[in-house]
Homo-oligomer: A and B are copies of this chain.
Amino acid sequence: MTRVKAGMVLALAAGLMATSAGFAQQPEGKSRRRRVEEKPLELTPAQVTELTKVANERKLKVEDLFAAAKTYTPSGVMDEYVLFSSGGQSGQVFAIGVPSMRLLRSIAVFTPESWQGYGFAGDNDPVRAQMRINGRDVTWGDTHHPALSETGGDYDGQFLFIGDKANARMGVVDLRDWETKQIVKNPLTVSDHGAAFVTPNTEYVVESGQYATVLGYGYATPDKYKESYRGMVTFWKFDRAKGRVDTSASFAMELPPYWQDLADAGKGPSDGLVFINSFNVEMATGGVEKGKPPFEAGASQRDTDYLHIIDWKKAEAAFKAGKAEKINGFPVLSLATSVAEGLLFFTPEPKSPHGVDVTPNGQYAIVAGKLDPHVTVFSTAKIRDAIANQKFSGKDEFGVNVLAFDAVKEAQVELGLGPLHTQFDDKGYAYTSLFLDSAVARWSLGGEYASKHPEKPWTLVTKTPVHYNIGHLCAAEGDTVSPDGKYLIAMNKWSVDRFLTTGPLLPQNFQLVDISSGGTTMPVLYDMPVGVGEPHYCQMIKADKLKSWAVYPEVGWNPHTQSLDPNSPKQGKEGVIRDGSQVIVNMTAIRSHFTPEHVEVNEGDHVTWRIVAVERTQDATHGFCIGGYNINLSLEPGEYQEFSFVADRPGTYPIYCTEFCSALHLEMMGYLHVKPANAVGSK
């Protein structure tokens, strides 16, 4: 009746699709990138006419055509950079290709995400276990500041660290498989600034606090603010070989209850120092409900706050020498110790700064005071000198020595309203976001950078308007020892009218800015709506530095341990093993079936389910779910997972592959039969 090609159907039906047959058109290895045309492109007059017609039909301007040509990335051509962006209160990290500005992937960190099978592995899910705080499931995060691991002050493409401001946690992502391996909860504070910054060889990941609390999750009313509340900075020791933070080798420092903000580590001549901004040195405690000034006013009264300067190498030595005290079981260098040992200094910085950013050569730390139209440039050599020679202008209320501003200041540059954050390029320019101006400012650096650009040192060169209300910005490798220039991302907080209205909740707007020319040319090339979270900060790495795995190294790989798992089921040895009410399921998954297809258990059984994807082809991912049981896995080629649950709901439950894997994907299913307790034994 229907003329079916019998051979094909038989082949499919016989399960030959279980191998990679049928997945045509997958180039291998070297030929993966599209071959470059030998002959350069030339436009004929007819093509110019036609292109002009297309442009006019879409009401494009000449500059739009250029922006299109500078960003359009054809099928199979790879982006040059990857932008790792925090996802704000989505709790995730987003990886975005540059210059195409396409969201390549989300990486789940603090919030369970079922596409990645992250946090949906039953009762003893190791991901969920790490999310627990004080016995409570805290299944979201507010990711603010991702930090790529560094070697010699340059991104090495190995790991990514990301903080959770809301709950003072830090996640560790392994960039071989782009999965979160560890979540560390700060034992001192409930919330921080979500800051994660690394020292130049990723010796430590620096987590700076934000809103002062009673360290160790304590309680105190605001009238006890000065005596009971404290800030903190934590130095998480990173074990690169294990790919994990070593909490036992980590320590913290007590800080005054100013609100610490962004941090940056010194490099080159300033290696060994960490800089942290602060605001609310007023120690305002709000209380608008009692007729007091709200925090926004109370914390903005003084002209200056304190830039915190920490000698982390000396602090590490003090910690190792046993000079730390324990708070909530965690070693903390007290303020008194820090002062006595010369670990901590302040210097005044303009009013309510947000970003502190060290120049690539390590010679300057630049502070953007958001309520001050200037950026302030501090000389790290002068800071070292002022520390060595005790050029103090006094002490703060907690006894910390304050370096004389004039002794450490190099320059101040007036840029405009609301400067927040500064990045760098390869031409001796700095770029600062201006929140209130809704603009990116390019300005010239001085010192040894002065010879790299034609402008006068320390001067504003140009501003480009952005849309709207830019928070952070990010230049290509723009906070490393060797920035690339080329591209800059303006991370705009509001989009308002830039995109279609998506209900009352609008996307943010990442704008790609072309910084490849110097001088006053700095066009916006592309608007990217970000409608999956509210990113705060990002870092942009050259794509070829990433050495991602295409598939897991071996079949049976456990991504939680990053090693071959001895429990991984073997093909031919699948089945169900029962020991009393303890049941172990050993299952394999391959296009297009699970083995076994039927799993029978009794109501109340404790089920441990082991499953491995026996696939070696890139992109041959399977899913695995149990309907109604809140279980979903993503099983990438070679991946092994174990999950467990109590079979407390009787019934016959479909199990199926949730990732469309082959033409017979819909047939890749089975059933979990949970025999009702009242029927057990009656079969």
Contacts and interface: CB of A to CB of B under 8 A. Distances in A.
Given A105-B502, A213-B652, A287 B597 contact: yes
Nearest to A659: B534
A399 B652 CA distance: 25
A330 interface: no
A107 to B, nearest CB: 8
Contacts of A297: 13-15
B75 A527 contact: yes
A304 interface: yes
A668 B295 contact: yes
Interface string A293-313: 011110111011000000000
A36 B465 CA distance: 20
Interface string A488-509: 0000011111111111111100
A115 B508 CA distance: 12
Interface in A117-142: 117, 120, 133-134, 136-142
Interface in A42-88: 42-43, 47-48, 50-52, 54-56, 58-62, 64-79, 82, 87-88
Nearest to A90: B115
A632 B166 contact: yes
A372 B2 contact: yes
A382 B36 CA distance: 54
A342 B168 CA distance: 64
Contacts of A660: 469, 471, 493, 534, 536
A8 B373 CA distance: 9
A467 B136 contact: no
Interface stretch (A243-251, A332-340, A548-556): A548-556
A414 B178 CA distance: 43
A656 B219 contact: no
B651 A505 contact: no
Given A116-B505, A543-B500, A575 B79 contact: no
Contacts of A79: 499-500
Interface stretch (A146-154, A232-240, A440-448, A617-625): A617-625
Given A82-B500, A105-B505, A663-B418, A4 B303 contact: yes
Interface in A643-666: 649-654, 656, 658-661, 663-664, 666
A401 to B, nearest CB: 18
Contacts of A649: 134, 136, 217
Among A300, A354, A623, max chain B CB count under 10 A is at: A300
A620 to B, nearest CB: 8
A288 B587 CA distance: 12
Nearest to A64: B74
Contact of A114 (B12, B140, B621): B140
Contacts of A412: 2-3
Interface in A27-51: 27, 32, 36-37, 40-43, 47-48, 50-51
A435 B22 CA distance: 9
A389 interface: no
Contacts of A72: 60, 64-65, 67-68, 71-72
Contacts of A218: 651-652
B504 A636 contact: yes
Nearest to A114: B140
A380 interface: no
A618 B52 contact: no
Given A65-B69, A286-B597, A669 B106 contact: no
A87 B527 CA distance: 23
Contact of A600 (B47, B141, B221, B372): B221
10 contacts: A2-B376, A3-B374, A3-B412, A79-B500, A102-B528, A105-B506, A177-B504, A300-B664, A504-B551, A532-B532
Of all A-B residue pairs in the complex, the 8 with the closest CB atoms, nearest first, are: A178-B503, A105-B531, A289-B596, A68-B72, A114-B140, A504-B636, A191-B627, A68-B68
Given A25-B438, A50-B66, A114-B141, 16 more contacts: A3-B373, A12-B300, A25-B465, A26-B468, A41-B56, A103-B103, A116-B505, A134-B649, A142-B658, A176-B503, A191-B656, A229-B652, A285-B598, A294-B667, A370-B663, A501-B549
